[in-house]
Structure 1
């Protein structure tokens, strides 16, 4: 495993971050989830990402149990706040001071830790003054409940505004957690340049485009049983944008490229996002321990210019690059 600094900070994180969205407390049994976490630790992954909303807080609890007994100082534990949790009452959502303060306490209890290394705004809250949100984050940091603050799926303008307020309040934003893959490059025109300027790194989710870039989905054929495309708890909806025959056919053209690089298609996809110097880590989940052992082999891989060019040629115009797609991730009203 190799490690990179997160943003303009002294915090180092593993190039592969273990994430438990759509798995822990949902798609896989707790015993298997714990086995996956143990596998991550065995291969040198030290960074773990979750969120209070995952499986309506159950994912945090499963991760907390799985990491119990580990040396806390050797881990980097990340979680997030924004989406509705619990009974989903009127204040159980958003980035108000009330919700942030109550949510961090709940997350720490479930994760069985006194602090998280990174606390992230899971989306931008259009209904709460940004000043209120950033003041609450500043207080969370001063209370020692979070060491650093990050955001997820914020636009470049929102990142700039948040970073400016954070500076005034005596802390800094150090990370952005957007979707990013060979097929989804919407952060490149605006979010990445703003982040580089302000000292934020990307912790990217879905580097395998919900599993499509693993090559297991074939054009004209039904998805494999038990795969994300068959998951009715949310996975099928998320992957649907990529489940088109032209996309699936182009992905199969990546197979010889992966072979020439000595990588599996999944490893190629993860290694590709790590070539971007603004990416600190790739978020990768698992439903089986073997997947962890396979995916971690992408750490430390350097793809040469020819491989990168061949990937671009294979995917062509199927790549989504429109930066307005980040705007679309921001809820127009606070989620309920």
Structure 2
């Protein structure tokens, strides 16, 4: 076989919020790569990042600076994604982004700037086309980063929009508990999706398995009983971690609370059954948190609002969530 020298690869990365204030876009399976041994402007998607590796199509793009506008082209939405857009870079190095200050220092470092017309978390509104930002920088860098950045912005803004709608619906019903997401997130993309929940005003629930002990039905029956499962979990995690138990009946909820569970999840209850079980458990165990989950969506959320329920968690926050349509348009020179 003909041998090939391993080419030097520069990964297109996008750094966003959280641990150490940054997350490499490579973990999100949304990368493109540039093969520096070929044409300087050759675009080379890689199999490693879920794209076909052809490396045969040269994209001759001028490196002159251009101005582009980022447009929102859909219905009312909650804007989320400044850390994503401001850090699109054809380099693996770059400044960390502090989304709380909404700066574009990283974009400036790599030769691109982003001027936003909306604050993150703002309601964009129902206009057909709305300019949300102006991006300036070398054409090659902008075109390389366009699709990965728009994909993330569309997905994250869609989640933030749904979360905002759910939170507003709960507040309109006079409920003062926590609407929460779940770990039913896109593999490799949880960090961004969990952050989008926060932007939309919804609690993350657990970030990962270390966030809290959750004993679901399989864990319980593998231990023999709810009481035994809670006892075993407490012996391992000690007093510093909360224990939540998934229960499918009021009797199981009572057993879990009596065994020392901090949170009792009433799973797949019908609304009337939920209200009765939650009231009974709160009366007997006033310090135990009650969570409702399973089968709850934006259409029936109001039926599950109860003064005896502290948390409502919904998988629909991420699963089947519609995206928000964004596009990047190059402005013609005047």
- TM-score, normalised to structure 2's length? 0.26
Q: Would you tell me which structure has more strand in proportion to its own residues?
A: 2
Higher relative contact order (CA 8 A, sep 6+): 1
Larger radius of gyration: 2
